[in-house]
Amino acid sequence: MKSENPLHPLIRPRRLRASPGLRGLVRETRLSPAALVLPLFVVPGAGVRQEIASMPGVFRESVDMLATSAKRAADSGVGGVLLFGVPPAAAKDAEGRAALDPAGLVPRALEAVAAAAPGLVRIADLCFCEYTSHGHCGPLDAHGRVDNDATLALTGEQAQVLARAGADVIAPSGMMDGMVAVIRQALDSAGCSAVPILSYAAKYASAFYGPFRDAADSAPAFGDRRAYQMDPANALEAMREVALDVEQGADMLMVKPAMPCLDIIRRVRERYDLPLAAYQVSGEYSMIAAAGERGWIDADRAMQESLIAIRRAGADIIITYSALRTAQQLNDGTFGAA
């Protein structure tokens, strides 16, 4: 049925945008604090809370302070935390063996978080870049390239250390071929078959990781990571990577970074029914935060819009440095209120 007067349309989509109540009632994409994961950086010492210059509002923390941050996140309804260790330079070596220490930074942080916030999901990132003297994601071969299979030999051991320390989820991020299969076998053989793997299944060699490398002191001493992380130009390759991880026993999948890869998130969501995470990485976060500090954009609204876009693309879980603030906004009703 058409209106007789073309200047008075019969169908008016604007009717459902007329008030905050109507907009909320018909909103298609919703976010909850339980879907958010907060990354945390643990450093040696006690009483340490150092703001990261390139990541406003994000801190490196000693175990005691990190436990307090985790408790705050749990109280706000945040679903989980993702832990990264930042050891001192003196503890690093060519193979990153500090990552295998049962009394290391992340194992101690896992125990502290379990005590402070027992209901919070503890996700342990599994990689070697923070622990190697050269900053790459595993030991090097004679040509200065990351040795895939030598890295796998250490990967299984790191997974066992993290699981025994209380990790609820192991999240391997190194993009080594075969890493999920090795971790699954290592966990199962150690009596940790109930521990799931959240694989960084499609992780691109992205320029958006810069601030993270400041935070984790993990910038490569030479070269870059393009020989093992993915080319941002490739989408079919991402689907092959995801398929391999699914075949090897991944329980959950991740796409990283998030906003530059919304198309990949959507493709993975449409093909696979495993829980899907997306990582709003440091550069994405810092661009919004820095522009907000300069008054160029409304940082809260921009952050909310970006998170909704990631959720709309199909992510079930969003890893974001804004998890705590976003959870508070969701709880007090100011998320999307403008």
What's the mean pLDDT in 24-49? 96
With respect to residue 338, please indicate whether it lies within any of the assigned structural domains. no
With respect to residue 314, please indicate whether it lies within any of the assigned structural domains. yes
- The torsion defined by the Cα of 282, 287, 291 and 293, in degrees rounded to 10, comes to 10
Length, in residues, of the chain: 338
> Residue 297 corresponds to which tokens in the numbers above?
């954009």
pLDDT computed for residue 2 by the predictor: 63
Q: Strand pairing of 317-320 and 276-280?
A: parallel
pLDDT computed for residue 338 by the predictor: 47
Bridge partners (DSSP) listed for residue 61? 42, 49
With respect to residue 23, please indicate whether it lies within any of the assigned structural domains. no
With respect to residue 24, please indicate whether it lies within any of the assigned structural domains. no
With respect to residue 223, please indicate whether it lies within any of the assigned structural domains. yes
| Catalytic residue status for 203 | yes
pLDDT band for position 6 (cuts 50, 70, 90)? confident
Q: What is the CATH number of the domain that holds 143?
A: 3.20.20.70
Q: Is the pLDDT of residue 214 over 90?
A: no
Catalytic residue among 2, 71, 92, 203: 203
Catalytic residue among 2, 71, 92, 256: 256
With respect to residue 205, please indicate whether it lies within any of the assigned structural domains. yes
With respect to residue 132, please indicate whether it lies within any of the assigned structural domains. yes
With respect to residue 316, please indicate whether it lies within any of the assigned structural domains. yes
Predicted TM-score (pTM) of the model is 0.95
Structural domain count of the chain: 1
Q: Within 13 Å of residue 318, how many CA atoms lie on the same side as its CB?
A: 32
- In the three-class reduction of DSSP (H, G, I as helix; E, B as strand; rest coil), residue 321 is classed as coil
Q: What is the pLDDT of residues 244-286, one digit of tens each?
A: 999 999 999 999 999 999 999 999 999 999 999 999 999 999 9
179 vs 273: CA distance, rounded Å = 21
Domain range for 39 is 32-332
Buried b (16+ CB within 10 A) or exposed e, 122-145: bbbbbbbbbbbebbbbbbbeeeee
Nearby residues of 189 by Cβ (< 8 Å), 6 or more positions away: none
| Catalytic residue status for 92 | no
